[in-house]
Chain A
Amino acid sequence: MKKILLLLFMFINLAYGYTYDNLLLKAQASIFPKIIMLDKKLESKLVDGKIIYTIVYEKDDYETALEVEKFIDEKYNGHLNDYLYKINLVEFSNLSKETKTSAIYSLNSEKQIKKVAEVAQQKGVVTFSYDIDNLKNGLLFSLVLEKSTVLYCNKNNLHSQDISFVDSLYRIVKFIESKSDIQKKLYNDIPLFNSYKTVVAGL
C-alpha cells in the first residue's frame, strides 16, 4: 500500500501543457485553407496577389509548425484554387500588426492567444486554432474529432466587418456563442430531432 501511495503522490496535482495529435493537425491542415477561400472579402486580404497563411507557434513547437506546413504543401502544392499561397512560420513573440497575412493558424500557447486574436481583429483576417479552447480567447475556427468531425466557429468573433463567409459554410459549422457556451458546448438544450451532421446550433 505504501508503494501505491508513493506512486499516486508522484502523479497528483499535475498541470498540463500541450502536445499535438497528428491526425488532428492533418485534418486542420487539409480543411482550414479551404475555409479561407469561402471568405467573401478574400481579395482585400491578399498580399502581393497571394494568400499568406501564417502559422504562429511557441519556440518549442517549431517542428510542429514545420509539419503543418509540410501537410499543407503536400495537399495543395502551392495553389489554393486560382490563388498562389505562401506559408509563413512566425513565433508568437514576433507576431504584430505589421505581420503581413491573409489568415492565421495558431498552435497552442499559454499566454499569447489573445494577442493573436487582437492582431487578427485589427487586420480583419480569419483565425484558426488547433485547440477549441482557444476560441474563448477570440479565435474564430477550430476543428475537433468528436463522435463526428466538427467544425466550430465562435459566433462572437464573427462580428468583424472584414469577415463574411458564404452561406454554405454556415451550414457545416457549429456556432459557439459565448464563453459559457464553450464550456457547455452547445448541449444545454439538445434538439431532439436535429440533424446530427449539419446542425447549426445557436441559430
Chain B
Amino acid sequence: MQNRLFNTAILLSSLTYSCVADTDVDGLAESITNQMEHFNKVATTTKQNEHYQPYIISVFEGKELEKLGISNLKEALSLVPGVDMATDNVNTQTPIFRGSNPLSYGQSKLFIDGVLVNNVFFDAYPEYLSFPIEMIKRIEVTRGSGSKTDGVNAYAGSIHVITYAEDFEGFESSDKMVLKYGSYDYRMGGFIKTYKTEDFKIFVDFFTQEDNKKLPAGFDGLSQGVLSMPGIDNRALSRSGDAPLWLKEYSLGANLEYKDFSIKARVHEHKKGSAYGINLALPQESDRVKLPNYYLELGYNKEIGNYDIEVKGGVKYDTFDSKSKLLPDGLTFIDMYQYDTLGTISPVVFTNGIYGEHLAKQRTLYQSSYLKYNGIYGHRLTAGYRFVKEETIEMTSKLSNWSTGLPEPYDYTQTYPFFDADAKRNAVTFSLQDEFLLNDGLSFIYGFNYEQTSYEDAGLDPRISMVYQFNSDNIFKTIYSSSHRNSSWQEMFTKNNHARVGGTNLEPEKVDAFEVAYIKKFSSDTYLQTNLFYLLNKDQIHNSSANPQYENVVDTDIYGFEVEYKGYISSADQLYLNYSFVKGRSEIGDDGTSQSLPNVANHLIKGYYIYNINSRLSLSGITKYVGSKERALGDVREDAEDYLTVDAALQYRDKKHDYKVTLSLKNIFDTDVAYPSSPKTYYEDYAQENRSFLIALAKEF
C-alpha cells in the first residue's frame, strides 16, 4: 500500500512538474546519464569495478606502490596472490602463477599499454621486470587462463602494465620527473611528459637505470659435474664467488593519438651481467647478456553506431645477445664439433678458457582486427582474428676454437650454430565472444579462440564464465577456460647444445582451468576476495640433465585457493593481505613416475600496511612469506628453505610543490632470499637480495 501511494505521489509530482519542465531539466538528466556512462567506462577500463569482471584479477595502483617503497615491476608482482618468482642461470626471471611449471617460460603474458611484449626467444619478459614503478600508473594481474585478450592465450596468467599514457577526460596525468638512488650503487632517472591538443596527444616516457649488483653464488656448476664425463673430470676447476647481477637499462616509450588513430612505440635496451653463466661456470664481472626489445604498433579504433572497430598492426624486435667467458682456464673437454659432425672423439685443452658470443634476433609482425557489436539487447559480440608471423632474422654463433683450443671466438654461425637461423612460425587465431547480460545480477561471457600455427596446432580453446551479483556486496564467479602455451623458441630451435635439445614437433601445452570465486564487499573500498581453482595441465614441456631433449612428457594437476583482503583499521591507514595455497601432482612420462609440485611454495602470504601520519607523511611496511619448496625428482638437496621478508618505507609528500620523497629499507632482517637452482647445476640456490635501501624523489609538474 505504502508503495502504491509512493509511486502515485511520484507520478503526480512528475506530471505536475512536466508541465513546467524546460529543456534544461531534460538536458540535465541526460547529462547525468552521460556522465554515469563516462565514469562507468573509466571504471571498467581502469578495473575500478574489477570485482564485477568475469576473471580473477588483482589491481595495484602505481602511486600506492610508490608509497610502499616498491621500486619496479618485479617487486610489485611479488605482492600478487599466488605469484612467486623463479630464475635460471642467466638470470631470466619469470613470475610463476599458481605453481605452474616453474622451470618453464611463457606461462604468462606481459602487456604494456595493451602491447604484448614477451620476447620470442624465451617467451618471457625478464627485460621488463626492472621497469620502474614511477613509470607505471596501474598493474592489472589476471590469474588463470581465463585471461584471454584479443586473440592472445594467457596460459597461467596475464599482466597488464598501464603507463601514464592512459588518460580520460577529468583524469589527465601530470608530467613527472624521477630520481632514485639505492644499494648496489643503484641510480635511476626518468621523466614522463604529455602534450595534448583537442585532437592530438603525444605522451613520452624515458628512464635510464643501472646498478652494480653482485651476490655470492657458491661453487659453480662445474662442481656438480657439468662439463665432466667419463675420462674427463673438470670438477677441480669449479670456482666460487659473486655472480654478476648488474643492470644497465634505458627505455624510451611514446604514445601518439590523432582522432581515431594511435601509435605505440618503445625502444627498450636491457643489458645485464651474465649471472651464473650460460654453461653454469661463474662468468667474468663484465660478461653480459643483452635483451633489447623494441615495438611499434599502429592502431585504429572507431565507434560507428552499435559497432566498434579495432584494427591493430605492429612489429616487434627482440634479441638474445650474450658475450661471455663461458668456461674457465685449463678446461679439458672433447672436440664437440668433431664429435657431433664426424662422431669421433678428440680431447682438447682450453688453456685460456672458452669464450662465446651468441646472438639471435627475432622479428614479430602481427595484425589483428576485431569488430564489436552492441546492437542486440543485453549482448556484446566480439569477433576477429590475430595473425602473427615470428622469425629469426639474424643469428651469430661464435665460440673458442674446438679443434685448437684457442680462446679467440671462432665463427661457427654456419657450421655449428647454437640456434636455428631459419626459425620461423606463423599463427592465426580466430576469436568469437559474447558478453551477455541476462539481468542486473547475472552476466556471462562465453566464446572461444581457435588457433592454427605452422607447427602443431592448439585448436579450439573455449571459455565460459558467469558473474552473479547477488547484490553489490556479494558477488560470485565461476569460470571454465581452456588455454595453451606454444613452445618457446628456445624449446624448439636450440641446436648443438647437450644441455638443451630443441624440437619442432612439440605440442602446445594445454590447460583446462576450473575456478570459482566469492567476493564480499564490506564498503566501497574494503573487500574480501576468495577463489578456488583446479588446473589440469597436459603435455607440459620438460627436459632434464638426464634427458636434455625437450618433450611433452608431463601432466600436472594443480589445485588450491587464494584469499585477498583489502581494507583499513582506521581512517588514516590501509591494509592489504593475501594468502595462497597450492598443491598438485605431476605425472612424468609413461613410466608412471609422479611427484608433487617441485620448486613450488605451497604457502604464500603477502601483505602491506600504510599508516598516514598526516596528509604529508606516511609510514608503511610490507611483509612476504614464501614457503619451502620441494626439490625435483632425483635432486637430493634439502627442500629450498622458506623465508619471510619485511620492508619499511617512509614517504613525505609536499602537495604545494608537488614533490615526494620516499625512503625505503628492504629486507630489514637480511633474510636469505633465494630461488631454486635446477638439479646438478649450482648446488646453492640463486641468491636474490640482501638488506638494501632506496631513496626516490619524484616531482610532478
Are B25 and A4 in contact, with the CB atoms below 8 A?
A: no
B577 CB-CB contact with A under 8 Å: yes
Docked CA distance A7–B577 (Å): 10
Given the known A-B contacts A26-B170, A38-B29, A186-B471, are A145 and B48 also in contact in the complex, defined by CB atoms under 8 Å? yes
Are B524 and A166 in contact, with the CB atoms below 8 A?
A: no
CB distance from A91 to the nearest CB of B (A): 14
Select the stretch in A45-53, A97-105, A119-127, A193-201 that faces chain B: A193-201
Of all chain B residues, which has the CB nearest A195? B377
Report the 7 A-B pairs with minimum CB-CB distance, sorted nearest first: A167-B14, A185-B471, A168-B29, A147-B52, A149-B36, A27-B39, A149-B40
Are A144 and B524 in contact, with the CB atoms below 8 A?
A: yes
Q: A residues touching B (Cβ–Cβ < 8 Å)?
A: 3-4, 7-8, 11, 14-21, 23-24, 26-27, 30-31, 34-35, 37-38, 40, 58, 60-61, 63, 75, 81, 108, 130-133, 143-151, 155, 158, 164-172, 177, 183-187, 190-194, 196, 199, 201-203
Q: B residues touching A (Cβ–Cβ < 8 Å)?
A: 3, 6-7, 10-11, 13-15, 17-18, 21, 24-26, 28-33, 35-37, 39-40, 42-43, 46, 48-49, 52, 170-171, 378, 437-443, 467, 469-473, 522-526, 565, 567-575, 577, 579, 603, 605, 607, 615, 623, 625, 627, 642, 644
Are A187 and B567 in contact, with the CB atoms below 8 A?
A: no
Chain A residue contacts of B29, Cβ below 8 A: 38, 166, 168-169, 171-172
Of all chain A residues, which has the CB nearest B49? A145
CB distance from A129 to the nearest CB of B (A): 10
Of all chain B residues, which has the CB nearest A40? B17
Chain A residue contacts of B378, Cβ below 8 A: 196
Of all chain A residues, which has the CB nearest B443? A147
Chain B residue contacts of A169, Cβ below 8 A: 29, 32
Are A166 and B17 in contact, with the CB atoms below 8 A?
A: yes
Are A148 and B40 in contact, with the CB atoms below 8 A?
A: yes
Docked CA distance A177–B5 (Å): 13
Docked CA distance A81–B14 (Å): 21
CB distance from A30 to the nearest CB of B (A): 6
CB distance from B11 to the nearest CB of A (A): 8
CB distance from B78 to the nearest CB of A (A): 15
Chain A residue contacts of B473, Cβ below 8 A: 183, 185
Chain A residue contacts of B24, Cβ below 8 A: 81
Chain B residue contacts of A166, Cβ below 8 A: 14, 17-18, 21, 25, 29
Are B574 and A19 in contact, with the CB atoms below 8 A?
A: yes
Are A196 and B440 in contact, with the CB atoms below 8 A?
A: yes
Given the known A-B contacts A15-B569, A63-B615, A166-B25, are A147 and B49 also in contact in the complex, defined by CB atoms under 8 Å? yes
Docked CA distance A41–B437 (Å): 38
CB distance from A195 to the nearest CB of B (A): 8
CB distance from B121 to the nearest CB of A (A): 38
Chain A residue contacts of B607, Cβ below 8 A: 7, 11
Given the known A-B contacts A14-B575, A17-B569, A146-B49, are A26 and B36 also in contact in the complex, defined by CB atoms under 8 Å? no
Given the known A-B contacts A11-B577, A23-B39, A192-B439, are A18 and B523 also in contact in the complex, defined by CB atoms under 8 Å? yes
Docked CA distance A155–B9 (Å): 12
Given the known A-B contacts A145-B40, A149-B36, A194-B440, are A14 and B569 also in contact in the complex, defined by CB atoms under 8 Å? yes
Are B32 and A172 in contact, with the CB atoms below 8 A?
A: yes
Of all chain B residues, which has the CB nearest A21? B525
Docked CA distance A160–B254 (Å): 56
Q: List 28 A-B contacts (CB under 8 A).
A: A3-B642, A11-B565, A11-B575, A14-B575, A19-B568, A19-B573, A24-B524, A31-B39, A35-B32, A37-B25, A38-B25, A40-B13, A132-B472, A145-B43, A147-B49, A147-B469, A150-B472, A155-B6, A166-B18, A167-B10, A167-B13, A167-B17, A171-B29, A172-B33, A177-B3, A185-B471, A191-B439, A203-B7
